[in-house]
Amino acid sequence: MDSKVNYAAVGVFVLALGALLIAGILWLAAGSGNKKDYALYVAIVNESVAGLNVDAPVKYLGVDVGKVKSIHIDPSKPQEVRLLFAIEKGTPIKEDTEAVLKTQGLTGIAYVELSGSTPNSGILLATAGNPYPIIRTKPSLSARLENVLTTVLANLDRTAANVNAMFDDDNRMEVKKILASTSIVMSTIAAQKTEINSFIANAAKTANATSQAAPNIDPMLARISRAADAVEKMANEAKLASTGAKKTLDEVGGGMRQLTGETLPELERLLGELSALSVSLKRLSEQTERNPSSLLRGRQPLPLGPGEKITP
In total, how many domains does the chain have?
1
Q: Is residue 272 part of a domain?
A: no
Q: Is residue 189 part of a domain?
A: no
pLDDT at 165 > cutoff 60:
yes
Distance, CA of 145 to CA of 288 (rounded, Å): 138
Q: Is residue 88 part of a domain?
A: yes
Are 85 and 41 spatial neighbours (Cβ–Cβ below 8 Å)?
Answer: yes
Exposure pattern of 184-199 as b/e (b: 16+ CB <10 Å)? eeeeeeeeeeeeeeee
Instruction: For residue 207, give Cα distances in angstroms to 80, 200, 202, 212, 218.
Output: 80, 10, 9, 9, 17
Specify the pLDDT at position 118: 83
Q: Is residue 49 part of a domain?
A: yes
What is the helix (H) or strand (E) element at residue 84, kind and residue range? strand 77-88
What is the helix (H) or strand (E) element at residue 62, kind and residue range? none
Q: How far is CA 93 from the centre of its chain?
A: 40
Specify the pLDDT at position 41: 94
Helix (H, G, I), strand (E, B) or coil at 73: strand
pLDDT at 312 > cutoff 70:
no
Q: Is residue 56 part of a domain?
A: yes
Q: Is residue 33 part of a domain?
A: no
pLDDT digits (tens, 9 = 90+) for 209-255: 766 666 666 666 666 667 667 657 766 766 676 566 566 556 655 55
What is the helix (H) or strand (E) element at residue 71, kind and residue range? strand 63-74
Residues in the chain: 312
- What is the three-state SS of 112-151? EEEECCCCCCCECCCCCCCCCCEEEECCCHHHHHHHHHHH
- The boundaries of the domain holding residue 78 are 38-139
pLDDT at 42 > cutoff 90:
yes
More confident residue, 198 or 42: 42
Q: pTM of the prediction? A: 0.43
Distance, CA of 43 to CA of 83 (rounded, Å): 5
Bridging pattern class, strands 77-88 and 38-45: antiparallel
Specify the pLDDT at position 150: 84
φ and ψ at 27, to 5 degrees? -65, -40
Specify the pLDDT at position 216: 62
Q: Is residue 176 part of a domain?
A: no
Range scoring the smallest mean pLDDT among 28-37, 39-48, 174-183, 276-285? 28-37
Q: Is residue 81 part of a domain?
A: yes
What is the helix (H) or strand (E) element at residue 164, kind and residue range? helix 141-166
More confident residue, 262 or 121: 121
Specify the pLDDT at position 121: 86
More confident residue, 249 or 153: 153
Instruction: For residue 34, give Cα distances in angstroms to 28, 31, 146, 312.
Output: 10, 6, 43, 165
Bridging pattern class, strands 38-45 and 134-137: parallel
Mean pLDDT of 201-205: 78
Supply the mean pLDDT for the chain: 76
Distance, CA of 107 to CA of 125 (rounded, Å): 35
pLDDT digits (tens, 9 = 90+) for 84-136: 999 998 888 899 999 999 887 666 678 899 987 788 888 888 888 888 999 99
pLDDT at 49 > cutoff 80:
yes
Q: What percent of the chain has pLDDT over 90?
A: 12
The CB density around residue 140, as the number of other CB atoms within 10 Å, is 21
Distance, CA of 85 to CA of 212 (rounded, Å): 92
The CB density around residue 168, as the number of other CB atoms within 10 Å, is 9
Are 54 and 72 spatial neighbours (Cβ–Cβ below 8 Å)?
Answer: no
pLDDT at 310 > cutoff 70:
no
pLDDT at 67 > cutoff 90:
yes
pLDDT at 4 > cutoff 90:
no
Distance, CA of 136 to CA of 142 (rounded, Å): 18
pLDDT digits (tens, 9 = 90+) for 9-41: 777 888 888 888 898 888 776 654 556 789 999
Distance, CA of 37 to CA of 33 (rounded, Å): 12
Helix (H, G, I), strand (E, B) or coil at 38: strand
Specify the pLDDT at position 231: 59
